[in-house]
Chains A and B, each alone.
Chain A
Amino acid sequence: DAGITQSPRHKVTETGTPVTLRCHQTENHRYMYWYRQDPGHGLRLIHYSYGVKDTDKGEVSDGYSVSRSKTEDFLLTLESATSSQTSVYFCAISEAGQGTYEQYFGPGTRLTVT
C-alpha cells in the first residue's frame, strides 16, 4: 500500500459522536483524497487536498470536514456521526505532474455507526 497508512483500521461508534480518521503518507505526494466505498456506489470522493491547508469538496462532502496541516497527514472528521456514514473509507495520494490517473490507495478504515 505504497507508504500510506490509515488509522484506525476499524471503528465502531455511536450516532452523534465525533469521529476523526487519519491518513499518513511517507511519499511526499502533493495530492491527498478521502473516498468512501459502499455497495452499489463504488468509490465516491468526499474531500481532497492539493497542498498544505488547501482543500476542496468532492461529490459527497456533506457531514464531513478535513484538515491538512502537514504534507504527510490528512484528517477526515465526521462532526456528528450518523448511520448513513457507516462505510469503508479509503485515503489515496497522487503526485502532480505524473498524471491524475495514478492514485495510490491506503488499506481502508471500516467505520460502523450504531
Chain B
Amino acid sequence: QKEVEQDPGPLSVPEGAIVSLNCTYSNSAFQYFMWYRQYSRKGPELLMYTYSSGNKEDGRFTAQVDKSSKYISLFIRDSQPSDSATYLCAMSNSSASKIIFGSGTRLSIRP
C-alpha cells in the first residue's frame, strides 16, 4: 500500500465550477501537507502548504487537512481554464529528505 493515495483522474469540469481534489495517507507522522501544481511539460510548483490540521485559504484556493481521518483536500473556487494542470499532493514529517508525493490528479477546466 502506498503511503499517499491520490485519484489520478482525469477530472473535467466546466469553467466556474468548484473543484475538489483529495488525498489520503497512512503515516500519522506527517506534519506538513502541500499541494503542487504541474503544467504539461513543466516542473511542479508549490501552490499551498499547511502545517498540521486545519484550513488555509489563498485567493480561490483552500487547503484542508483532517489528520484524524488522514485526509487532505484542495478546493478551487470559480475554476478557470488556466487551472488546467496536474495537481500533486505531498507530505512530510519535517525531514528534508522525506517529502512523499501523491501520483497526481489531472484536472481539465472546460471553457
Alpha-carbon distance between A4 and B42 when the two chains are bound, in angstroms: 12
B103 contacts chain A at the CB level, 8 A cutoff: yes
Contact B102 A100 (CB under 8 A): no
Alpha-carbon distance between A4 and B43 when the two chains are bound, in angstroms: 10
Contact A41 B103 (CB under 8 A): yes
Which residue of the partner chain A has the closest CB to B49?
Answer: A101
Interface string of A72-114 (1 = CB under 8 A from B): 0000000000000000001010101001111111111000000
Contact B96 A42 (CB under 8 A): no
Residues of B within 8 A of A1 (CB): 42-43
Contact A100 B46 (CB under 8 A): no
Chain B interface residues (CB < 8 Å from chain A)? 4, 6, 8, 32, 34, 41-46, 49, 88, 90, 92, 94-99, 101-104
Chain A interface residues (CB < 8 Å from chain B)? 1, 4, 31, 40-45, 48, 50, 56, 58, 90, 92, 94, 96, 99-108
